[in-house]
Amino acid sequence: MTGPLNPLIESSRKSRIEFHKILLEEMIPKLSEQMIYDKGLDTRRRFNFRGKTLEEKQVKIFNRSAFIATNVDHIKNEPTSTDLAFLAFDIAGLREADKAEDGEGNKAADLMLNRIAYATNITLEKYRKENLDLAISFGRYGGDEFMISVLVLIAKKKSKA
């Protein structure tokens, strides 16, 4: 068979290329502008245990989509940076805590997630203020998995030398 590929295949290929172009040029920038917070942690949590009410503040951290979009933006803005690190951590044994319910629909696991996310976020916030040459992002990747990224900002790195 001579000439161009089957017209159906060629049409499909062009539409895939157009989709990826739209994804890169329009959808990802819009997502990164919105900076979506994790709705599960952006809620004040309570748990009643043996007559005492344990309470944890709401936490504003990125959900998976916003975490990824933020890091894509950082990498686009610092394309020559090779100093990038990701830390992933998973809360072990959280399923067992999820079984503990206080009778009012509150689960111990929800309180624990908020407490861990809050403490991590406070620690990272202090570190961000002390290290202005770093772009540090924190987000919930899913369930009980969290991610932290650290990118060294080249412009500020050069000015220190």
- Six-digit token pair at 116? 């861990």
With cut-offs at 50, 70 and 90, classify the pLDDT of residue 86. very high
User: What pTM does this model have?
Assistant: 0.67
User: Where do the domains of the chain lie?
Assistant: 1-34, 37-160
The residue count for the chain? 161
CATH 3.30.70 is held by the domain 37-160: yes
- Low-confidence winner among 3-7, 46-50, 139-143 (lowest mean pLDDT): 3-7
Tens-digit pLDDT profile for residues 119-138: 999 999 998 899 888 889 99
Tens-digit pLDDT profile for residues 26-57: 666 665 445 577 877 877 788 888 888 888 88
With cut-offs at 50, 70 and 90, classify the pLDDT of residue 109. confident
* Bridge partners, residue 152, by sequence: 134
Q: Are 45 and 56 in contact (CB under 8 A)?
A: yes
User: CA of 110: how far to CAs of 45, 80, 82, 94, 118, in Å?
Assistant: 7, 40, 37, 9, 12
What sign has the CA pseudo-torsion 64, 85, 61, 23? negative
